A = this chain, B = another copy of it.
């Protein structure tokens, strides 16, 4: 099957099985040690990068579609995945001309005409989700329209197709805000970790350094960390304490409103 046939089949499949006018895009952040990355895919036969995305099945819940897409792209399931914003500017797909992008894929002019796609009538409202994963544990998988998946440092993301740079910006802003009222990191740290490791995680996501004492106070105030015994094998009295998350309280806090006011 050549690429044109593949694309045609894909679009026929879309029309038969997926909702029109609605898509979803995933901002998959990858953390490991002191690096924060984001997963991008490269469109076939092009140099263009974009976020991995998907569509919503006609009989599929929106959140299920997002989890399915994440699973298809990363092989991971049951991840922290959160809807953060729905993008609905009329021209969002024409920030970069969509027909031009398709044309560059080769031999698809007639398909574009047949689909009636042009800059003025092709439009999706796209629901943005973000996930936070340990990128050393993920093996990203390209889909049929993309050649390559690659982790990019969040500070070095290239210009992307469509409004995808804006999506990353808002996802990062939302994730950072979330740190101030919800705990993050259950899946990103070893089961037992030092306060310094936890602080490094927060500093990496926030992109700035934090005061050590204030951080300690705030974390302990959440009442979700259990301090472990020091390992007897380490002789020094200066060995750092190890902590682990109290899973149940962590989940409670994730679902709580947790207002600091009053």
Q: A residues touching B (Cβ–Cβ < 8 Å)? A: 19-22, 56, 58-63, 65, 83, 85-90, 120-121, 123, 125, 127, 173, 176-177, 179-181, 202, 206, 208-211, 214-215, 218, 257-262
Using Cβ atoms and an 8 Å threshold, which residues of chain B touch A22?
21-22, 88, 125
Using Cβ atoms and an 8 Å threshold, which residues of chain B touch A259?
176-177, 179-180, 206
Minimal beta-carbon separation of A190 from chain B (angstroms): 22
Using Cβ atoms and an 8 Å threshold, which residues of chain B touch A211?
262
Give the distance in Å from the alpha carbon of A208 to the alpha carbon of B202 in the complex.
32
Please state if A262 and B181 are interface contacts (CB–CB under 8 Å): no
Residue of B nearest to A57 (CB): B90
Give the distance in Å from the alpha carbon of A258 to the alpha carbon of B19 in the complex.
37
Q: Which of A56, A61, A85, A86 has the most CB of B within 10 A?
A: A86
Residue of B nearest to A179 (CB): B261
Using Cβ atoms and an 8 Å threshold, which residues of chain B touch A258?
177
Give the distance in Å from the alpha carbon of A259 to the alpha carbon of B63 in the complex.
28
Residue of B nearest to A219 (CB): B261
Using Cβ atoms and an 8 Å threshold, which residues of chain B touch A125?
19, 22, 56, 62, 125, 127
Give the distance in Å from the alpha carbon of A173 to the alpha carbon of B258 in the complex.
10
Minimal beta-carbon separation of A169 from chain B (angstroms): 11
Using Cβ atoms and an 8 Å threshold, which residues of chain B touch A206?
259, 261-262
Using Cβ atoms and an 8 Å threshold, which residues of chain B touch A88?
22, 56, 61-63, 65, 127
Give the distance in Å from the alpha carbon of A123 to the alpha carbon of B60 in the complex.
11
Inter-chain pairs besides A21-B22, A62-B87, 19 sampled, C-beta below 8 Å: A19-B21, A20-B20, A56-B125, A58-B121, A59-B90, A61-B88, A62-B89, A65-B88, A86-B86, A86-B127, A125-B127, A176-B257, A177-B257, A179-B261, A180-B181, A180-B261, A181-B181, A206-B259, A218-B262
A-B contact list, 12 entries, CB within 8 Å: A19-B21, A22-B125, A58-B121, A61-B90, A86-B127, A125-B127, A177-B257, A180-B261, A206-B261, A210-B261, A214-B261, A214-B262
Q: A56-B125, A127-B88 are in contact. Are A180 and B62 (CB under 8 A)?
A: no
Please state if A58 and B127 are interface contacts (CB–CB under 8 Å): no
Q: Which of A58, A90, A181, A261 has the most CB of B within 10 A?
A: A261
Please state if A123 and B261 are interface contacts (CB–CB under 8 Å): no
Please state if B58 and A86 are interface contacts (CB–CB under 8 Å): no
